[in-house]
Amino acid sequence: MISLLYVDDEPDLLDLCRLFLEREKEFSVITVTSAKEGLEILDGGAVEAIISDYQMPVMDGIGFLKQVRKKYKDIPFILFTGKGREEVAIEAFDNGADFYLQKGGDPRAQFSELSHKIRQAIRRKKAEEELRMMHSTVSNAPEGILWINEDGGITFFNDTICEMLGYTREEFTSLTIRDISPRFIEDHLDTDWFQTKKRKILTVQDILRKKDRSHIPVEISLNYSEFGPRAYVFAFVRDITDRKKAEDELKSAYEKNQGLMDHANDAIFIADAETGMLVDANKKTQELTGRTLSEIQAIHESDLHPKEEEEKYRAYFKKHAREGTGLQEEIIVDLKRNHIPVIVSATVLDLGGRRCLMGIFHDISDIKKVNTALQLANKKLNLLAEITRHDIRNKLTMLSGYLELFTDHPPEPQHSMYLAKLKNAVKMIEANIEFTKLYQDLGVVAPVWQDVDDTFFKACTHVDIKKIRFQSDATGLEIFADPLLERVFYNIVANAVEHGNQVSVVRLSATELPDCLVIAIEDDGIGIPPNDKETIFRKGYGKNTGLGLFLSREILSITNIAIKESGEFQQGARFEMFVPKGIYRFSSKAVTGERTRALISGNGL
């Protein structure tokens, strides 16, 4: 429920507004009769938006707005007043009001419009916050990325695809998809998938032509998206030269050197093409499924997949065996019943007169996670684009209004004031247009597996402290997180050093629970007061920028990691991060390495 603060010196109007807004079960309204009381409410609780009258004793709505903007810069503020003077509206917007509404008229329509403005202001604030979180370009992704329109034009590309194909960014700008894949549209876009738009994601293999006219095999994940009336395909391009080479080598040399399979990075199964029984598998397969070779050789190929879809996977196997080859996305299940998405490349082999089907299973769990993050980024960018268009329309309305006033040839000082407002509106429209250039190229830096222990100590080296002991018992623990994980650790450690009041120890620990892993960073300082344990994560909270812990929570949420503060006040702060299954793993260092590491700073880390 959205918490609102409504300030008005008329108690009857306060009650009426509260009743109308709370009828929708979406808002919770706190009412006060003065700006002073309003500021006290803001100091003590979580308020997501403010509605204020203009004409009030002691401090009017504009004065209240100015005080709010000094302490709570981004909280939505709506001036809701019976004064309809133009100069009041201008002064309100000049001081940072989000909307200005005049009282009067049909109450139902009036409060419906007020509800709409509240939602719009909160949505805009949230979109701007999330965009700042997502502010990282896909150019840093480890795989090639393309946006392709319906005509085959390339509307966006990253540096990786340029390097992959041997072009500079300037050279790549003039290319279309046909320049690097002559039959891409015919083979992939002129298909039922693109025409019916039923399948949002499709994985294909293709051959791309490089600048030097040589060719490389690639695997492409195609994602269908619409922006307004236009359709696009987002392509995630992976160079599979090494994989193809491995497949060819395996196919030709299997009988002579079966051990070659064990050097492959992908899981490889060999099944009897007639019966479907598994006859062989490499070490990667055993690691992926959690089964020994003897256990694998005792099961049918369909037993690798979800039980409820057994018939579907039996049909896939028969189709590949009949056609001699195949490529598609599947799900395999390990002994712990974890579902693992894979891309399967199947080829029929003759092994000593026995017809077999070899399946190379490439784990795409990380790619799936990255695709989810990119889809989330698209939604947020669409929302921001909608809000930007709305802002420009508002400025155009303002521009038209002042131009109309100019037709009356106003005297001074109105003439100069109107002119200044016109120039300001034009400047704001220009700023909005320039802003679109920023977010049109934005995306998400792909999350990666990161060593928690190393990342923690690296973050500590950026903190200016004197004699604080840093400890960690998370050796060998890795989590799948945004590359800004180090910034999260830094924010927590920096807060301990700056606000912990003579902290002597900062310790990181990890505890595995049945449904998740808990990573804790705790200190022996003064701790966090009970009333602040949640508000410290709000944007704007604190003495400095108020972004540190807010950004930390948003960075972690990209891969569904939650965070809270659970320490005992006066005994130290304790920040707990809850990492879901599948987002953490343990490397060999967890067994063979040190269990606890420590670092003491004497004159700076």
- Which range, of 115-119, 178-182, 345-349, 407-411, averages the lowest pLDDT? 407-411
Going 27 to 32 to 34 to 36, the CA torsion angle's sign is negative
| pLDDT for 133 | 58
Give the residue, 256 or 408, on which the prediction is more confident.
408
pLDDT at 326 over 70: yes
What does the pLDDT read at residue 483?
80
Q: Which residues contact 96 (CB under 8 A, 6 or more apart)?
A: 65, 69, 73, 77
389, pLDDT greater than 80:
no
Write down the pTM of the prediction: 0.40
Residue 448, sorted as left (phi over 0), alpha (psi -120 to 50) or beta, turns out to be beta
Domains of the chain: residue spans and CATH? 2-133 (3.40.50.2300), 137-239 (3.30.450.20), 243-363 (3.30.450.20), 367-443 (1.10.287), 448-600 (3.30.565.10)
Give the residue with greater pLDDT, 559 vs 378: 559
Q: How many CA atoms lie within 13 A of 584 on its CB side?
A: 25
Are 586 and 476 contacting, i.e. CB atoms less than 8 angstroms apart? yes
pLDDT at 221: 86
Give residue-wise pLDDT tens across range 426-458: 877 775 665 455 444 434 466 789 999 999 999
Q: What percent of the chain has pLDDT over 90?
A: 17
**Mean pLDDT of the chain, nearest integer:** 81
- Torsions phi, psi of 134, nearest 5? -90, 5
Average confidence (pLDDT) over 388-398:
73
pLDDT the model gives residue 517: 95
pLDDT of residue 284: 87
Token code pair at residue 242 = 């090494």
Residue 216 neighbours by CB under 8 Å, 6+ apart: 164, 165, 207, 208, 210, 239, 241
Q: Are 5 and 47 in contact, with CB atoms under 8 Å apart? A: yes
Q: Band the pLDDT of 510: cuts 50, 70, 90.
A: very high
Give the residue from 305, 145, 136 showing the smallest Cα distance to 221.
Answer: 145
Specify whether the CB–CB gap between 4 and 30 falls below 8 A: yes
Q: What is the spatial distance between Cα 408 and Cα 403, in angstroms, rounded to a whole number?
A: 9
Q: What amino acid occupies position 573?
A: A
The reported pLDDT for the residue numbered 114 is: 86
Query: What pLDDT does 441 receive?
Result: 40
How many residues appear in the chain? 605
Contacts by residues 173-179 (CB-CB < 8 Å, ≥ 24 positions apart): 176/151, 176/152, 177/146, 177/148, 177/152, 177/153, 178/152, 179/209
Rounded-to-integer distance, Cα 361 and Cα 371, Å: 19
The dihedral sign for the CA sequence 594, 598, 603, 605: positive
Distance, CA of 479 to CA of 447 (rounded, Å): 10
Residue 258: what pLDDT? 55
Q: Give the 3-state secondary structure of residue 119.
A: helix
